[in-house]
Structure formats: C-alpha cells, structure tokens
Chain A
Amino acid sequence: EVQLVESGGARVQPGGSLTLSCAASGFTFRTHGMSWVRQAPGKGLEWVSFVDTTTSLIFYADSVKGRFTISRDNAKSSLYLQMNNLKPEDTAVYYCVRDPYNSGTLGVLDYWGQGTLVTVSS
C-alpha cells in the first residue's frame, strides 16, 4: 500500500524558516517524481514544487521561487521542502504527492499524503 507521511509542520513567525519531510513507503520511491501541493485554509489546491527521480529536473511555482527548495533522499525514501523567508500567505496544509512516472513530463499526480499544517503568524 502506498503511504506518504508528512511531518515538520509548525507555527513560525514571518521571515522564519521550516523544513518539511515526507516519508514514502509501499512503492519504489526512486522511480517516481514527487511534488508538494498546498492548500490554504478554506481555499483550493496550489502546486508548489516538483522534483524528478534524480533531482535533474526541479520546478517551482512563481509564488515560492527563490524561497523554497525541494530535495529528496532516495536511500531514505524521503522528500523534503526547505522553506525560507516565510510569509503569512504561505500558511497552508502542505501535501506530498506522487507522480506515477519518473520525469513529471506528463504532469500526472496520483497518491497524496495526509498533509502537515504550516502557520506563519506573529
């Protein structure tokens, strides 16, 4: 069974930093691209970032480019999101989402984690 378990969400002050983690199991992690998708309270879904299997392809939404860094450790079957210079508008539940393919060029998403809440507030 595919499982994606996010952790690391917390309340931080504006300008602060946070790193989210996603532990994957139930599939061969190193053969799948991975994305982060967020959802602000009461709002819709917003794609944040993507990384392919070898980290040779990495993409970011314009809203987070230059502030967030996606990475992965295939040996640990884990995905990460380093978030710097956080703003109140980054407040959201952050989901770890699997791409059924390796390079993301088809843009398909399939399995979602339960999400972890990040609150940016003073």
Chain B
Amino acid sequence: GQNIDQPTEMTATEGAIVQINCTYQTSGFNGLFWYQQHAGEAPTFLSYNVLDGLEEKGRFSSFLSRSKGYSYLLLKELQMKDSASYLCAATDSNYQLIWGAGTKLIIKP
C-alpha cells in the first residue's frame, strides 16, 4: 500500500532549529512536497524535491533520499509565526499526491 509517515507533533524553542522527518512508500515516485498549514487556513507550498539532496530556501531547507524513501524539512532561526502544521506529500507514478497526516509544530518563547 501507499503510506506517508511523519511525527504527529513536535515542540521547539524560538530561535532554534527543528527537523521534521517524513518517510514514504508509494507505487512509483516522482517527487516530494512540503506544505505549511496554519490553523484554520489553507495549506501553502514550501518546497518540492525531485532529486536527492538538500534544497535551501531562506530559513527553510528540504532534503530527499529517494533510495531510503525519506525526506526532512529543516527550519532554522525559528519564529513564533512558524507554529503551524507541516504536511508531507509524495507523488506516485501517476502523479497522484499521497498526503501525510501532518506534523503540528509548536514554538515556545
């Protein structure tokens, strides 16, 4: 079956660094998305990885290992506004998105 696993909740301190992991099993694989969703709002796009390696975009970076079926989202210099859920989604061979349940990130002062 197709499955995405990510931690349910994480807590971190303002100004620190946090890594949110995601493992996936899909029928074929074309790429992996990370979305941010603040409570009561729509998901918004953060990153898309197709090739192995780290892609950096400001304070946020995303890593992919296709051989291990593994990705992580790295958030640096955490700010209170980073408190949100982070959704991992993989595209299968038909470009259909398989979504994880999301990781709720709580930032403490």
Partners in one complex: no
